[in-house]
Chains A and B, each alone.
Chain A
Amino acid sequence: MDTIDVSNLNRQFLFRESDVGKSKAEVAAAFVQKRVSGCHVTPHNCRIEDKGPDFYRKFSMIICGLDSIPARRWINGMLCDLVMENVDGTPDLSTIIPMIDGGTEGFKGNARVIYPKMSACIDCTIDLYPPQVNFPLCTIAHTPRLPEHCIEYIKVVVWPEEKPFDGASLDADNPEHVEWVLERALLRAEKYNIRGVDRRLTSGVLKRIIPAVASTNAVIAASCALEALKLATNIAKPIDNYLNFTQIHGAYTSVVSMSKDENCHACNGGRLPIEVTATYTLEKLINHLTDKYHLKNPTLETASRKLYCISMLFPQLEEESNTNLQLFLKDIVTDGDEILVSDEVLARAITLRVQFI
């Protein structure tokens, strides 16, 4: 769904200056189609979530060059769900669609091959992704010391208070918005005697920009394409199963074999048992789940009631949710009951079958 930005041009050989503002999918498809005779490329200018199982089932493999972890988890969940089972419970191999995933950051990158439900998937190895670093609010509000703290303060405190631009939400792609934040961040930095606030850093913090160069992208794209070629033609055995690449000090590649997680919710079709003791509280469960599945703001419910839900859409649930945190699970559910866990980062909810031990 993305459109071409001028800052994409340093690493994209399919886009030209005159393409800025156009759909990435459409420009890339038209370009490849023109350059490579006999090749059919169909652009779909939409979100990956807009397509359903019937769409994804049509392909022999899926190659991902996604820019976020939730997007990877979504497509990974979709491909896991497409795997059918034989009568004996084993995966029906003819329904497995291999997924090739690549990602880069600066001079580092990785590429991997996933056979959904057969080998380690995105969610089996979710701990490979570092958790997003957020500055504590008390630091940015009371004891800022880094230029980033000044910028974050304007973003999370001053903008919502002053509601500039007729109450518009902060759009990091809008130069006027960036300028507004920059001006105030500079004043705050001056007040605290902090050096280093400038336009590049401001846009970097606001957009959470990840640096990127053409060469690393060329290497990782080639690495993914090579694996696709192996899958399609059997010229060699695909990697098993995760490639690391870095080119800061010399050039270095290594392939490691990541293991499946027996408790992966994606591989288990979203249904998992969970063993808890009598003194387990709801809060402890939520902390455990947030940590294990990298959740952001989970909602928990049983068949009969909402247990925990913090959402602007349901403000009336907040108080009850917070009270419920201290409850023991044994007072909420009985052995064998199911708890449904949903979260914005999950492609679909996880159903936990509670077992008291």
Chain B
Amino acid sequence: MPPSTSFDPSNRYDRQVRLWGEEGQASIGATSVCLLATETLKSLVLAGVQSFFIVDDARVEQADIGQNFFLLTDDIGRSRAEATLEKLTELNPSVSGSASFQSPTALAHEDVEKLAKFSVVVATNQTEEIDTKFAEVLYNIGVPFVCIKSYGLIGTIRICIKEHTIANSHEENPRPDLRLDAPFGKLSEIVLETNLQKMTVDQLRHTPYILLHFKALEVFREQKNDPTAFPASHNDRKEIQKILQSFRRSSDESGTKDSENFDEAKTAVMRAFQKTTIGTSVKSILSSPQCQISTQPFWLICEALRRFMQSNNGLLPLRGTLPDMTSDSARYTQLATVFHEKALSDAQEVLRLTREVEKERGVGDIISDDVCYRFCKNADRIRVQTNELLDYGRETKQIVEKIGTLNVDKDTREAKVESSTWMLLMRAVGRFKKEKGRFPGTNGVPVSIDAQDLKKRVEVLIRESLKDGEDPSSILLNVTDSAIAEMCRFGAAELHVISSYIGGIAAQEIIKLATNQYVPIDNTFVFDGHTQESATFRL
């Protein structure tokens, strides 16, 4: 039979739902994006956002055709917003798009309230004035603003948002939540029923390692003559490994003590024998004043979590996923089931507390069972990012400071331009444009002349950032003439490969912001196309 060609729309998002789940897809499907940019848009339309709105007052020119895949020669002279809109909506019929032939400046000044209805606003290659205006308006109404620059071989992304909450960080390789130090009722019962000595060798070799760990802990406590002792040091954990080794038995046939479950048990000791504590980031979230007052879903559950912990010996809800481990079917599934059921009942309790909080704050039942359950499963890895308002003046100072701390010799400096230096050069270009009305390396002005002019702006920016009397020359040394010349050589060209690269990253960051999953860039990302290296700054 030939491969099926039947069209099932639910399969369109299959390959990404495997990453962020149906709940993530639903969040994306409810996201509306306002763009002063298009390259980011293709990845968002494909991902299935609800709607997008393009703001662009330009008409399509010949130069656009080379750098924008979504424009055709026939489009020259048309409104760029409309022409792009047409091509983009083709990509995914379930996404609705609209366009405005308004100037970004007009939008920022006249139609500010319009911006409040978007989930996120994106601007590419706007002036510092427009960026600043948008950032300020959006910061105060709590709408994320993503500010993108694509200039020659350099690309930057600045994510501007007052507060971003992350319910599921998708941390890779999180420490398992096994509760070896604080077993819950059903788990303790299973441990109590387990008797390694009375097992056949075959049963012993199919005992899931978590039970071996508990039994080793019993012996450890006997040895220490302390019924509550728990391995606290590397040596203690080595001790546990020795105890585990003593549990091994050899079978008559093989004559060896080799056994996969014991090998797993040994390897897992270092990560499993950790006290069930709460990380500093979660601790600070739960002690944040937002817990006490906010009516945002994230904070409502956080307050419920805080109350849950108070009546639960300071423990968070159980994650409830048992790591895979060699075992017979019966005992693994028995354990997996008690873990799962305990997680459900913990989440149920958190939900009850959430209802309490909702009632106190006069909001309806906002949090669903599902949302609460998923939140609890990831409760030990929740995060909050907070940022200051975008302020080019303050940030340039920080960049200059950063360059001041670079300690590289002449050869290194010439061989590779540091990301912070590119950042400063981008600011210098902004200043150049503001003062001369054009970008360096354009209008047929020789690069050598513009390079001198650009260097002057670099000097001014450094001087403005330093305190009176500080010597700018050591910092200026890091901004090599060849880096300045490179900036002029770009001639404000927007290379499609760089826009596409930066646009792809920005699209994913927007999905992170919309789904409250994964951890967004905090807060400035710089990409250098020469080396394909990147850096992240918190400005």
Contacts and interface: CB of A to CB of B under 8 A. Distances in A.
Contact of B497 (A10, A37, A226): A226
Contacts of A235: 153
Given A204-B18, A223-B532, A225-B500, A6 B505 contact: no
B146 interface: no
B482 interface: no
B246 interface: no
A35 B534 contact: no
B57 interface: no
Interface string A1-40: 0010111011111001100110000000000000111000
Interface string B482-519: 00000000000001011011011101110100000011
A226 B504 contact: no
Interface in B42-84: 42-43, 46-48, 65, 69, 72-73
A203 B329 CA distance: 23
Given A194-B329, A226-B497, 18 more contacts: A6-B12, A9-B46, A13-B91, A21-B3, A145-B333, A212-B15, A212-B16, A215-B43, A219-B500, A223-B532, A226-B498, A226-B501, A226-B529, A239-B532, A248-B170, A251-B505, A252-B536, A255-B533
Nearest to A247: B508
Contact of A222 (B92, B206, B497, B520): B497
- Of B14, B90, B93, B507, most buried by chain A (CB within 10 Å of CB) is B14
B412 interface: no
A146 interface: yes
B530 interface: yes
A145 B336 contact: yes
Contact of A215 (B65, B324, B511): B511
A253 B532 contact: yes
A143 interface: yes
A35 B43 CA distance: 18
Contacts, number: 196
A203 B15 CA distance: 11
16 contacts: A10-B15, A10-B16, A10-B46, A11-B15, A12-B46, A13-B42, A37-B73, A200-B17, A209-B14, A210-B15, A214-B46, A235-B153, A236-B153, A236-B530, A239-B532, A249-B172
A4 to B, nearest CB: 9
B474 interface: no
A247 B18 CA distance: 16
A194 B327 CA distance: 13
A171 B518 CA distance: 34
A36 B71 CA distance: 9
A211 interface: yes
B232 interface: no
A175 interface: yes
A143 B327 contact: yes
Interface string B381-398: 000000000000000000
A222 B65 CA distance: 17
Interface residues of B, number: 73
Interface of A: 3, 5-7, 9-13, 16-17, 20-21, 35-37, 106-107, 111, 143-146, 168, 171, 173-175, 192-195, 200, 203-204, 209-219, 221-223, 225-227, 229, 235-237, 239, 243, 247-255
A306 B11 CA distance: 48
A216 B508 contact: yes
B522 A213 contact: no
Given A9-B46, A253-B527, A255-B531, A213 B16 contact: yes
Contacts of A251: 157, 505, 508-509, 521, 525, 534, 536
Given A7-B12, A20-B5, A143 B497 contact: no
A6 B9 contact: yes
Interface in B145-203: 153, 157, 169-172
A143 B519 CA distance: 38
A247 B9 CA distance: 27
Interface string B285-317: 000000000000000000000000000000000
A247 B328 contact: no
A211 B1 contact: no
A214 B333 contact: no
Interface string B205-225: 010000000000000000000
B19 interface: yes
A213 B15 contact: yes
A37 B17 CA distance: 36
B336 A11 contact: no
A222 B498 contact: yes
Contacts of B42: 13, 214, 218
B374 to A, nearest CB: 15
A175 B6 CA distance: 10
Contacts of A211: 15-16, 18-19
Contacts of B500: 218-219, 221-222, 225
A6 B8 contact: yes
B340 interface: yes
B503 A250 contact: no
Given A35-B72, A175-B4, A218-B43, A255 B519 contact: no
B4 A250 contact: no
Contacts of B93: 17
Given A193-B337, A194-B333, A255-B533, A250 B521 contact: yes
A212 B324 CA distance: 25
B104 to A, nearest CB: 24
Contacts of A12: 46
In the A-B complex, the 4 residue pairs with the closest CB atoms: A218-B504, A21-B5, A215-B508, A222-B501
Contacts of A35: 69, 72
A95 B69 CA distance: 33
Given A6-B7, A211-B18, A237-B530, A218 B12 contact: no
